[in-house]
Structures are given as structure tokens and as C-alpha cells.
Amino acid sequence: MTENVSGSRSDSFFRLEGITKTFPGVKALSAVSFDLRAGEVHALCGENGAGKSTLIKVMTGAHKKDSGNIVIDNEEVEFVNTHQAIEMGISCVYQELSIVPLLDVARNLFIGNLPRKGRVIDYKKLYADTADILEKLGLTISPHEKAGELSVGQQQMIEIGRALTRKARCIIMDEPTSSLSERETDTLFEIIEKLKNQNIAVVYISHKLDEVMHIADRVTVIRDGQHIISKDISDITEEQIISKMIGRDLKNMYCKEPGEPKGIALAVKGLTKHGVFEDISFEVRAGEILGFFGLVGAGRSEIMRAVFGADKYDSGQVIINGKTLKPGSPARSIVSGMGFVTEDRKQEGLMLELSVLANMTLPKLKDLSSGGVIRRKAQREIAQKYIDSIRIKTPTMNQLAVNLSGGNQQKIVIAKWLMMDPKVLIVDEPTRGIDVGSKAEIYALMNELAKRGVAIIVVSSEIEEVMGLSDNVITIFEGRKTAKLKVTSSLTREEILAASIGGVTEKCN
Amino acid sequence: MQLKATEKPTLKERVGGIQNFGIFIIMLVFIIVVVALSGVKFFTPTNLLNLLRSISVTGLMAVAATLVMITGNIDLSLGWMIGLAACITGVHSDNTVVAIVFAVLACAACGAFNGILIGGLKLNAFITTLGTAYVFKGITMMYSDGKILTASVQNDSLKFIGQGNILGVPTPIWIFLIAGFIFWFLLKSTTFGSRIYAVGANAVSAKFSGVSSAKIVMAAYILTGIVTGIAGVVFYSKVMSVQPYSGAGMEFDVLTAIVLGGTSVSGGKGNVPGTIIGIIFVGILSNGFTLIGLGSNAQYITQGVILILAMRTDVMSSRGMRG
Amino acid sequence: MKNNKALKFLREYNVVVITALVFLAAVIIASPKFTKLSNLSNLAMSIGTYGILAIGLTFVFIVGGIDLSIGYQVAFCGTMLVIIANAIGLVPALIIVLLMGTAIGYLNGTIVTRLKIPPLIGTLAVMTALNGLVLLLSNNSGNLSIKDTMFGVSLPEFYRFQLFGVLSPSIIIALILFVGFALFLKYTRAGSDMYVTGGNPEAGAFSGINNGRLTRIAYSICGLCSAICSFLLVSSLGASTYNMGDGLDITAICAVVIGGVKMQGGKGNMGMCLMGVATMQIINNAMIKMGLHSSMQSLVTGIVVILVLILDKLTSKKAVNE
């Protein structure tokens, strides 16, 4: 069942052989093998829940394997803890960054590893060495800057820098570009090239297959805890990777069907928040999907939060279904028919310690209660209806939200808004960190909604997603609207990208 | 693999209670030991009635403060709030209605003050209520001139509140049980209750779902204030006299009871029945120790040890209460 | 550019500005009683004594914890000091009590790190227990006076002795501790790593930092400081009282927070601690000199705490989100 065309050659310095790891009730990894050569970029692909993070944890010493071997330089090793793995040259840059925000860059780079003269910390050497590494990474920040004030991209670079200070031979990167802009992604790729030149290997985990095709030398696909295939990148296509990941073929994920535009559901006029965004005006019609594209940090989420009422703004108007909305109250927006799927479902969209039921029905409570008292039966019934209709995988509705996979968590958030029957639905990064299978389901949902007449605004940093889903795209650059483009077969990536970094055009309507 | 999710909730889920069985066992063991040691004295009607009355006072505060703690906050100013209420009652001990109204309003204002600072300005609840405790202390001491307040006039209606019985059960217990029921119902079955849990679990997500954490937190503190006002009236009328500082320290008993009852310090979890069990425990412990003749020293020591033991069996993460 | 620098300076050092302003206010309002030399030297002594307590708490805050039991640590150590000193002499008693204080601190640290109990609850429990012990030892009422002498003079005299007219033991000890611990925090690995334990413990764990050990050290330092503070308090009174710890925890917490040490951890230093304590003590002292009734003092203290919290909130930079 597993194809391993390139085989484990003896020039791989780091090998995992036949790793099995079981948790109570779940076999996370079944005899999985993985090998890494010096200086290569080896991508690891698989759906959420396929076993990638367990494999990583075994690689970094965070979990103990149940059986199998870990081999470094042809010698078998056992990782007692993560620190030991780091000492042996295996470093990891996680999605949740381990930055200490209140400390400066230098101290973050050398956490637990501060240079010393005898027993006393050598601050001179600390800042000098830091300046060195910053230069190697091409970063123009001062070693004294507080890490908490850096952009996410820069913080990620610091983590990579930290791996360098530990003389890493292998750096594992888990979804490194999920919060990066195009420019920062390019910088990351440059750095990966530099790492390769220093014979440092990179394990690159990403759902963004276009990146994988671009940067990786080899790719390994994992599915259901089993090793499926390992191939040189030149010997495999993106579609093949996808089909190996989900075990079936996926045709045309976006399946957009053109609909007839109807009346204007939402109009935004001259929305301004000083220092964040200026003079934003746009309209969305019922049944239309409007994409919002731009660099990370351009202000798209801020605009949407202001439109929704979660943040205040300085001037401008938000008009929904003909009525002007007073700013600053999400509750009012919800009553007027708006819904908002936030960017970060864990921090902003869900209450992880509460049940699926509680999460899904929170905005709807008023309708589900009489005189302040909740009608439990009605509440359970409507939750069940949506769990069934959008296929949320959960054993019961009383299951805590934190126990569901990313894709299902996102479905809870969407269900929460669906049951409010919104006229306008804002979706910010709908598929961030979600596996391919769930992505397709979410796109189908959105199209279904649009067909039923809901106006949808999609904020996304993935240009393929924006182009695939939207009828029209608005680009935002540094808080300003730079273009509104109609998505037709003739619209190219480059045009959208150009508009998103400042080129102003007005194409069609 | 989809189970039908419309199954009826279990009895435990319906009523709520101690989240962790281990804590319950520990408390039970201690109570049995203490009661056994205090012997027959414990079961005399006088003692039991006393016990019930004092549990009522802290119990009132605890069931209301449970709401505050579920939102992830805390109220360390309770001791002086109840002191203020008791002193107001004392000063107006000649007119029951005036006393009650004034005490409740004053404490509601205190609660609102807390609510504005913590719910509105989003200050750290722990240290803010330490600060407001000082403010309320100042007000209470100034109001009472630092003196003991004893009733000079005979006031039977007021006396009835603290010392009377309805159907053989002390009035304070009725008040406590009614309040307990109201707050249990609020948390369990109303939208307000669901919103309290939501704000405690994740205030940001709750905001995006249209729930204003400021309003909810403020409501929780004001409710706590109102109930503490009532508790102050009861406290005074138990013996028709009060020293202004006799409430000081009660907030720790309340906190202990709520935590033992299973409410998480970080918010999002907890319920009223658990708190009631917690307050019964603290009350019996205190009462039992007095009967044994050990006095508050030993009680404090034991309470401390139990808190640690109870927490040990709890599978809580060590997030604790960071600022 | 220049504006930015000034703002940044203000943000970093606003506590010094506050302290200076408060001092100025006190001078204006409470003179001449406040500005009398004897009063100022009293003020300095109280800054020293309470400052030592605040040093301990600062360490606990830096690693992201909290210690509610410091008030009763002081009471307990003070009571034990008197009892033991009356039995076997001051110097051995002192040594024993210092060790005891450290042990209590270590106990707190163990409860938090090994038993994984949230510090709020854990130290609350220890506080309750210590409360009981103190009442027990002092027979529910006690003032216990200490009979022994230090360097040939009675303890109260020792406490008030002034080297070069200004430096009394409390100030000298405080200075030594301030400087010593400041160096510790800046130049040793343990000290530096404590900021990581408080600022992002997971990051620390990944990098091989032993968060548990550092936390236990922090709490132990706190216990030691409580013991030293209790010695000074007993000296000043010549006795121990059962309520000598009352309100100390709140005063210390307020002082440290005013100074700018963050309760969530990862930020703080000896300088902030000193400024915060100075501010609190100036306010306390001035209020007494103004003849304010104690109820008014409470009120003012409470308002100051709230104002400082509001000020801190207003001047905090929003953390970078995306």
C-alpha cells in the first residue's frame, strides 16, 4: 500500500523507521517511515488528523514512540525529551510561536542558551551574536526590539534564527506561511534556500500545495496514520498529491456557478479609521460572493470588524438592507442580519471549553427562549438539524468544542451563523489550517448560501481561493481600496497581485 | 458514525454539582471526622440552628459570587460590602424597610462600582477588588465611626429576619435557599446564564456572537452586590448588633466554598449546587471545630490543607489566575 | 522621531515620574510635619522594611505567580523569632527563622509546580494554614516581647540606629538585597530565565529551561524576604503581635503593581519594585502626618490602587495580534 520510489538511501542522516504510536482509543501512527537528507526540503502532506502532528512530536521528542526506530547518522537514538532532540540538531518551528513577547529579540534568539563568561551572562557577546544571525537572515530589526512588537513573519524568522543558534541540522516548519504575506513568504523561501546551502534540512508541512511544489525536493503523504507515498517533487503532480491525501479524486473544488445578481444587501460608504483604513466604499449584492484580497496587515480584517461592529470607526456608514447601522455593536449587526466568521476560530470564534451545542446556539438564544428561559428541546433540535445538514463530525452535541478537528470546528462556527439566516455573511480566512476534504465542503456550503440569496464577503490571503470563489474581488493595500475587479476567465493572478500591492485600477464594474 | 444527539441529559448534567468526585470524597471524609469528634454536641437543635444561620450568610454571597467567578473574575471586596450593609442596617435598625432598601441599594452601588471597573474598563479583577475593598472599608468605617452598632429599639420584623423561623426552619435558610434556587435557575436555564458561561469561556468569541462581556460582567457584580446587601441585613439581625469589621475575611470563605464546589478559577465552568455543597462544608468545618474546642486556628490550618488536597485531585491545568 | 523617544521614555519610566510627583504632592500637602528630617528618615526606614517584602513578591510575579500568604509568613516568622530567641538567643533564632521562611516559600513553590495547584488557591491555602498557626502560637491574642539584644542594644534601638545619620539597618539590608538581586536577575542564567518562565513557559520548556525549579526558587526567595522583613518589624516593635501581618500582602501587591511589575509575569525588576514601594510608603506616611483618620486612609489607599490600575491600562500598548 505504500509506494516508496526513492527508498531510504543510506545518505539520509535522519530516519524514522516503522514508527507506531497509539493513544487511548486511537492508533495515530502505524509503521510510518520517514527519512531526511542533508540540505533537502522534504514536504510532509496530509489531512488534519492524518497523523502529521503526532509524527512531528515523535521527531522532536515530545512524544515517545511505541515501536520503531529513530536513527541519526546511522546510530539508533531514543529521545527522552524535546531538549535532547534539540541538542541532537532537530529543531521545530511550530504554528503557535514560542516567542516571549516582553523580552527583546536577542533574548528570544538565545532562550535558555545565553552566552556566558563564567557564571555571568555576557551581554556584549549576546548582542553581537544576535546581530550576526539577524544579518544572516536578512532581517533589518534591532536586537533590542521587543519581540512582541514584531510582525508575525518577523517572529517566525526569530524562531528559525533560534534553531540556527542551536546548530540545527534539521528544521521542521509546521504551516509556516499561514500568517505570512506574499512578501514575507518570499523572504522565508530565500531563507530556506540559504539553509539548504548550509546543508541544513527542512521538513516543510503545509496545506498550500502550490508552495510545496515550488520549494520542496521531495514530498511524503500521510493518511490515516499510515505512510502512503514518498516521491521526488519532479515525479509527482499537485493533483496526485491531493488524491493521495484524501484517497479519492477531487474535481474542481470551487465549483462556482454564476448566479443572477439581485438587490444590494450591504453598502459601505467612506468607512475610515485613522491609521488603519481610509475611505473604504463597496457594495455587495444578494447572492454575490465578494472577495477581499490583500497582503497580511493591509487592514482587511480590521475593515470587516468595523463593518460588523466589533471595532469602532471614525467616519463612514454601514448600510444593511437599506438601514444605516450604528457603529460599535455586534449585537445590533446580528439583529440586522449580519454574520461574521472570524479569522481565528480558536481565539475569536469558539468557546473551546463549552459544548458544540452551546457554541452553535449562542447568537440564536434569544429566539430559542421565552421570557429569558431557554427552550431546551428547541435548542437541541435546531442544533441537531445543522449538525446533520453540514455533516459536523462529533459523537454528541455535548462534546466540548476543543475536541473536534479544525475543519469541524470551523463548521460549528459556520453553522452558528447559518441558523441565524443572515442576509450578509462575512467570512475571514474560511479555510485557514483546514484539510483539503473539509475545504471542499466549506466551499460548497458557501456557494449553496450564495445561491439562496445570501451576500457573502470572503477575506482571504490565498489568491487561488479568492479567484475560485468570488464573483468580484476588491483589493486592499495599506488600508485603502486599490481596485475592484470582476473575476472572469481572463483575470490573471498577476493583475490581482499587482492591485494588492498598490497598483490602482478600476476594471469593469 | 453519527450518534443521535437528542439524547436526554443525565441527572448530573441536569442539576450540576461537584465536577470532580475526588473533591467530594475528601470533603465528606473531613465532615464525618469532624462531626464524629464533636460528638453529640453537634446534633443539638441549638447548634444545628446556629450552623444553618451562619451558612446562610456566607451562602448568600457565595451563590451570587459564583456568577462572577464563572465569568473568570473574582470579588475580594465582599467582606467589606457585607460590613457596610450590616452597619447600614444597624444605623437604621428602627425601620426595617428603610434598612433593607438602603443596605441593598448601597451594596448594589458597590457592585456597580466593581462592575464598571472590571467589566467596563477591563481592569484586573483580583487587584481591583482588593482596591475597592479598601474603598468600602473606608466608607464603612466612616459611616459607623468605627463603633459597634447595637439596636436600641425593639424591632420585631427585623429580628424575625435573622432569628425567626418559618415552618420550623430558620428564616435565613429560606432566604438562602430561595436565592440559591434563583441563581441555579439563572445559570442553568436562562439566556443570561448561558451568556455568563460564554463570557467566562471566551469573552472575545462571545463578543463576536453579540454578547457584550461588559454588560454581563457588570450584571454579575451588581447581582452580587444586591445579594450581599441582603446578607448584611441577615448578618446584623442574627444578633441585632455588629462590629464594622466583622465581615472582613468572609470573602476567603466564599472563595474557598466556590472553588471546592468545582468552579474553575479561570472561568467558564462551575455551578450553584457545587457552591452550596462547598459552603455547607466550610460551615460545618467551622462549626465542628468550635465545638471540639479547637478554635479558628486549627480551622484555618485544616481549611488550607483541604483546599490543597481538593485541588490536587482536580484535573485542572495550572493556568491559575494570571493577570 | 523625537516625540517617539520622549513617549517611549515616559512609558518605560512613568513610575519614577509618578513617585516623584507623589513625593512632591506629599511635600506640598503635608509639610512641615512630612518634611521633618526625623520623619523622612522614618519614611526611609519603612521603605527599606516593606521594600524587602516587595522584593520577594516581585520575584514571584516575574515567574508569573502570586503569593497571598506573605502577610502571614511575616506574622509566623516574627512570632517564631520571638519564641525561639527568648529560648536560645537572638542570633541562632534569626538563622532558624530565615531558614523557616525560605522553607515556607519553597513549600508554596512546590504546591504550585509539583502539585500543579493554581497559585491563587495554593497560596491562599497556605495563608489560611499559617493564620491558624500564628493564632495557636500566640495564644490567640499575643504580643510576645523579645528579650534579647543585638550588638548590645535592645532591638528597637538597633532598628533605629543611624549610620552617618541616615542609614539604619533596614535601609542597609534593603540596599544590599536590592542590589544583589538586581545583579542576580540581570547577570545570572537563573535570573534571566525567570523572565521566560513568566513570559512564555512553553517556549522555555522547549528550550530546556526548568520552569519548575526557577519557580520554586522565586517562591523561596519570597519566603526568605518575608523572614527578613519579619525580623525588622519585630525589631521596630521589640515584640511580635498576632496581627503584624495584616494588610501586608495587599500593600506589597499594590506597591509592586504600582511600580510596573506585571501580574501575568515576564516583566519587572528591582528598580520598579523600589519605586512602587516608595510611592506607597510616601502616601501612607503623608496620610498619617496629615492626621487623616484611618478610615480615610483606607479610602485613599483604595482609590490610589484603582487610579494606578486605570493609568496602567491606559498606557499599555496593545499586543501585536496578527
Q: Which of B135, B139, B260 to mutate to test the interface with C (most CBs of C within 10 A)?
A: B135
d(CA A98, CA A45): 23
Residue of C nearest to A298 (CA): C322
- The secondary structure of C276-301 as a DSSP string is HHHHHHHHHHHHHHTT--HHHHHHHH
What would the grid cell of residue B271 be? Answer: 455551578
Residue of A nearest to B191 (CA): A372
CB-based contact (8 Å) between A317 and chain C? no
Residues C262, C267, C273, C279, CA torsion sign: negative
SS3 A456: strand
Angle between helices B78-91 and B45-70 (to 10 degrees): 120
**Structural contact between residues C194 and C214, judged by C-beta atoms closer than 8 angstroms:** yes
A440-443 long-range contacts (CB < 8 A, ≥24 apart) are A440/A250, A440/A253, A441/A390, A441/A391, A441/A407, A441/A411, A442/A407, A442/A410, A442/A411, A442/A414, A443/A253, A443/A254, A443/A255, A443/A468, A443/A469
**How many Å lie between the alpha carbon of B51 and the closest alpha carbon of chain A?**
34
Which chain B residues have a beta carbon less than 8 Å from that of A411?
none
Angle between helices C37-62 and C169-187 (to 10 degrees): 30
**How many Å lie between the alpha carbon of A153 and the closest alpha carbon of chain B?**
24
| Model pLDDT for residues B192-203, shown as the tens digit of each residue | 999 999 999 999
Which chain B residues have a beta carbon less than 8 Å from that of A355?
none
Residues C249, C253, C255, C256, CA torsion sign: positive
A312: Cβ–Cβ under 8 A, 6 or more apart, which residues?
Answer: A273, A306, A327, A328
- Which of the four pLDDT bands, split at 50, 70 and 90, describes residue B316? very low
Residue of A nearest to B195 (CA): A362
Which chain C residues have a beta carbon less than 8 Å from that of A179?
322
Residues of chain A predicted below pLDDT 70: 1-10, 25, 48-49, 246-261, 296, 501-509
Q: What's CA C121's distance to the chain center, in Å? A: 20
**How many Å lie between the alpha carbon of B209 and the closest alpha carbon of chain A?**
5
Cite the DSSP H helix spans in chain C: 2-30, 37-62, 70-88, 90-113, 119-137, 155-160, 169-187, 189-199, 201-206, 211-237, 248-259, 270-289, 294-315
d(CA A311, CA A79): 47
Residue of C nearest to A348 (CA): C321
- Which of the four pLDDT bands, split at 50, 70 and 90, describes residue B304? confident
B227: Cβ–Cβ under 8 A, 6 or more apart, which residues?
Answer: B60, B61, B63, B64, B179
Angle between helices C248-259 and C2-30 (to 10 degrees): 140
What would the grid cell of residue B52 be? Answer: 444553618
Q: Checking phi first, is residue C260 left (phi over 0); if not, alpha (psi -120 to 50) or beta?
A: left
d(CA B228, CA B216): 18
Q: Which of A111, A113, A149 sits opposite C203 (nearest CB)?
A: A111
According to DSSP, residue A139 is labeled -
**Which residues on adjacent β-strands are paired with residue A41?**
A202
Query: Could A381 and B198 be called an inter-chain contact, meaning their C-beta atoms sit closer than 8 Å?
Result: no
| Model pLDDT for residues B233-266, shown as the tens digit of each residue | 999 998 888 988 888 878 888 988 998 888 877 8
C197-221: average pLDDT: 91
According to DSSP, residue B314 is labeled S
Among candidate residues A404, A367, A352, A361, the one with its CA nearest the CA of residue A383: A361
CB-based contact (8 Å) between C111 and chain B? yes
CB contacts under 8 A, B 117-136 vs C, are 117, 121-124, 126-128, 130-136
CB-based contact (8 Å) between C167 and chain B? no
Q: What's CA C234's distance to the chain center, in Å? A: 16
Query: Could B211 and A334 be called an inter-chain contact, meaning their C-beta atoms sit closer than 8 Å?
Result: no
Q: Are A288 and A207 part of one and the same domain?
A: no
**pLDDT exceeds cutoff 50 at B178:** yes
CA terminus-to-terminus distance, chain C: 25
Query: Could C188 and A121 be called an inter-chain contact, meaning their C-beta atoms sit closer than 8 Å?
Result: yes
**Structural contact between residues A261 and A285, judged by C-beta atoms closer than 8 angstroms:** yes
- Which of the four pLDDT bands, split at 50, 70 and 90, describes residue B156? confident
Which chain C residues have a beta carbon less than 8 Å from that of A301?
322
Interface of C with A (CB under 8 A): 186-189, 192-193, 195-196, 199-200, 202-209, 262, 266-267, 317, 319-320, 322
- % of chain C with per-residue pLDDT over 90: 32
Identify the chains in contact with C, defined as 3+ C-beta pairs within 8 A: A, B
**How many Å lie between the alpha carbon of C189 and the closest alpha carbon of chain A?**
7
Query: Could A350 and B210 be called an inter-chain contact, meaning their C-beta atoms sit closer than 8 Å?
Result: no
SS3 A273: strand
Q: Are A268 and A234 part of one and the same domain?
A: no
Query: Could B209 and A395 be called an inter-chain contact, meaning their C-beta atoms sit closer than 8 Å?
Result: no
**pLDDT exceeds cutoff 60 at C322:** no
Residue of B nearest to A348 (CA): B205
**pLDDT exceeds cutoff 70 at C13:** no
CB-based contact (8 Å) between A301 and chain C? yes
d(CA A504, CA A507): 10
According to DSSP, residue C265 is labeled S
**pLDDT on residue B319:** 35
- Which of the four pLDDT bands, split at 50, 70 and 90, describes residue C320? very low
- Which of the four pLDDT bands, split at 50, 70 and 90, describes residue B1? very low
What would the grid cell of residue A502 be? Answer: 498598490
CB contacts under 8 A, B 228-267 vs C, are 252, 255-256, 259, 265
Among candidate residues A58, A105, A96, A92, the one with its CA nearest the CA of residue A77: A58
**pLDDT on residue B5:** 40
ipTM exceeds 0.85:
no
The answer to whether residue A254 is domain-embedded is: no
Residue of A nearest to B3 (CA): A395
**Residues present in chain C in total:** 322
| Exposure string for A353-369, b = 16+ CB within 10 A, e = fewer | bbbbbbbbbbbbbebbb
Q: Are A183 and A289 part of one and the same domain?
A: no
Q: Checking phi first, is residue C116 left (phi over 0); if not, alpha (psi -120 to 50) or beta?
A: left
In which element (H, E) is residue A386 found? helix A376-389
What would the grid cell of residue B34 be? Answer: 469532624
A247: Cβ–Cβ under 8 A, 6 or more apart, which residues?
Answer: A223
Query: Could B210 and A395 be called an inter-chain contact, meaning their C-beta atoms sit closer than 8 Å?
Result: no
- Which of the four pLDDT bands, split at 50, 70 and 90, describes residue B172? very high
| Model pLDDT for residues C105-159, shown as the tens digit of each residue | 999 999 999 988 888 888 888 888 888 888 778 776 566 766 666 665 666 777 7
Say how many domains are in chain A.
Answer: 2
Residue A285: give the domain boundaries. 264-506
The answer to whether residue A130 is domain-embedded is: yes
Q: Are A368 and A447 part of one and the same domain?
A: yes
**Structural contact between residues B117 and B214, judged by C-beta atoms closer than 8 angstroms:** no
How confident is the prediction for chain C on average, in pLDDT? 84
- CATH code of residue A452: 3.40.50.300
**pLDDT on residue C146:** 65
What would the grid cell of residue A459 be? Answer: 477575506
C254-268: average pLDDT: 85
**Structural contact between residues C207 and A112, judged by C-beta atoms closer than 8 angstroms:** yes
> Domain ranges in chain C?
50-278
Which chain A residues have a beta carbon less than 8 Å from that of C192?
107, 114, 121
3-state secondary structure A59-99: HCCCCCCCEEEEEECCEEECCCCHHHHHHCCEEEECCCCCC
Is the peptide bond between C169 and the residue preceding it cis, with omega within 30 degrees of 0? no
- % of chain C with per-residue pLDDT over 70: 87
Strands A472-477 and A455-460, by their bridges, are unpaired
Q: Which of C187, C202, C208 sits opposite A120 (nearest CB)?
A: C187
| Model pLDDT for residues B101-130, shown as the tens digit of each residue | 999 999 999 999 999 999 999 998 988 998
Interface of B with A (CB under 8 A): 1-7, 9, 13, 189-192, 194-195, 197-198, 201-202, 204-212, 268-269
What would the grid cell of residue A392 be? Answer: 459536523
Query: Could B208 and A350 be called an inter-chain contact, meaning their C-beta atoms sit closer than 8 Å?
Result: no
- Which of the four pLDDT bands, split at 50, 70 and 90, describes residue B161? confident
d(CA C63, CA B27): 32
**How many Å lie between the alpha carbon of C97 and the closest alpha carbon of chain B?**
20
The answer to whether residue A150 is domain-embedded is: yes
Burial of B154 (0-12, 13-18, 19+ CB in 10 A): exposed
Sheet bearing A480-486, strands edge to edge: A338-341, A424-428, A455-460, A289-294, A472-477, A480-486, A505-506
Which chain B residues have a beta carbon less than 8 Å from that of A402?
none
In which element (H, E) is residue A243 found? helix A238-246
The answer to whether residue A253 is domain-embedded is: no
**Higher-scoring residue by pLDDT: B60, B288:** B60
**Higher-scoring residue by pLDDT: A177, C72:** C72
Angle between helices B213-239 and B78-91 (to 10 degrees): 50
The answer to whether residue A268 is domain-embedded is: yes
Q: Which of C114, C306, C311 to mutate to test the interface with B (most CBs of B within 10 A)?
A: C306
d(CA A494, CA B162): 80
Q: Considering A220, A246, A272, which residue would you say is the last residue of a domain?
A: A246
C190: Cβ–Cβ under 8 A, 6 or more apart, which residues?
Answer: C184, C214, C217
Query: Could A374 and B194 be called an inter-chain contact, meaning their C-beta atoms sit closer than 8 Å?
Result: yes
**Which residues on adjacent β-strands are paired with residue A264?**
A285
**Structural contact between residues A438 and A470, judged by C-beta atoms closer than 8 angstroms:** no
**pLDDT on residue B317:** 36
Q: How many other β-carbons are positioned within 10 Å of the β-carbon of residue A506?
A: 10
Query: Could B141 and C298 be called an inter-chain contact, meaning their C-beta atoms sit closer than 8 Å?
Result: yes
Q: Are A236 and A322 part of one and the same domain?
A: no
The answer to whether residue A255 is domain-embedded is: no
Q: Which of B132, B135, B300 sits opposite C132 (nearest CB)?
A: B300
Cite the DSSP H helix spans in chain B: 11-15, 21-38, 45-70, 78-91, 96-115, 125-144, 156-163, 171-189, 191-201, 203-208, 213-239, 250-260, 272-292, 295-313
Query: Could C207 and A113 be called an inter-chain contact, meaning their C-beta atoms sit closer than 8 Å?
Result: yes
**Structural contact between residues A221 and A52, judged by C-beta atoms closer than 8 angstroms:** no
CB-based contact (8 Å) between A395 and chain B? yes
Residue of B nearest to C137 (CA): B297
Q: Which of C200, C317, C320 sits opposite A98 (nearest CB)?
A: C200
**Structural contact between residues B252 and B82, judged by C-beta atoms closer than 8 angstroms:** no
d(CA C276, CA A117): 33
**pLDDT on residue A363:** 93
**Higher-scoring residue by pLDDT: A498, B189:** B189
Q: Are A218 and A352 part of one and the same domain?
A: no
**pLDDT on residue C8:** 63
**Residues present in chain A in total:** 509
- Which of the four pLDDT bands, split at 50, 70 and 90, describes residue C49? very high
**pLDDT on residue C183:** 94
Q: Considering A246, A277, A306, which residue would you say is the last residue of a domain?
A: A246
**Higher-scoring residue by pLDDT: B179, A168:** B179
Which chain A residues have a beta carbon less than 8 Å from that of B71?
none
Q: Which of B207, B208, B211, B269 to mutate to test the interface with A (most CBs of A within 10 A)?
A: B208
Q: Are A150 and A284 part of one and the same domain?
A: no
Angle between helices C248-259 and C37-62 (to 10 degrees): 80
Q: Are A233 and A292 part of one and the same domain?
A: no
Query: Could C187 and A121 be called an inter-chain contact, meaning their C-beta atoms sit closer than 8 Å?
Result: yes
Q: Are A418 and A380 part of one and the same domain?
A: yes
d(CA B137, CA B245): 8
